[in-house]
Copies of this chain bind each other. A is one copy, B any other.
Amino acid sequence: MFYHVKELQYHAKPDRPDPIFAKKLQEVLGGQFGEISVALQYLFQGWNTRGDGKYRDLLMDTGTEELAHVEMLCTMIARLLDGAPVGDLEEAAKDPVLGAILGGMNPQHAIVSGLGAMPADSVGNPWTAAYINASGNLLADFRMNLTYESQGRLQVCRLYEMTNDRGVKDMLSWLIARDTMHQNMWYAAICELEEQENIVVPSTFPRKLEKQEVAYTYFDLSRGTESSKGRWASGPSMDSLGEFTYVENPPPFGEKPFIRPAPPYMFNTPPHILKHIPPHRG
Contacts and interface: CB of A to CB of B under 8 A. Distances in A.
Interface string A257-282: 11111111111111101111110001
A252 B2 contact: no
Interface in A98-130: 99-104, 106-108, 110-130
B136 A50 contact: no
A166 interface: no
Interface residues of A, number: 207
Copies in the complex: 6
Contact of A271 (B7, B51, B222, B266): B51
Interface in A52-94: 52-58, 60-65, 67-68, 70-72, 74-75, 78-79, 82-83, 86-94
A110 B41 CA distance: 18
A49 B227 CA distance: 14
Contacts of A104: 89, 102-103
Q: Which 4 A-B pairs have CB atoms at the shortest separation, nearest pair first?
A: A114-B136, A48-B116, A51-B274, A123-B124
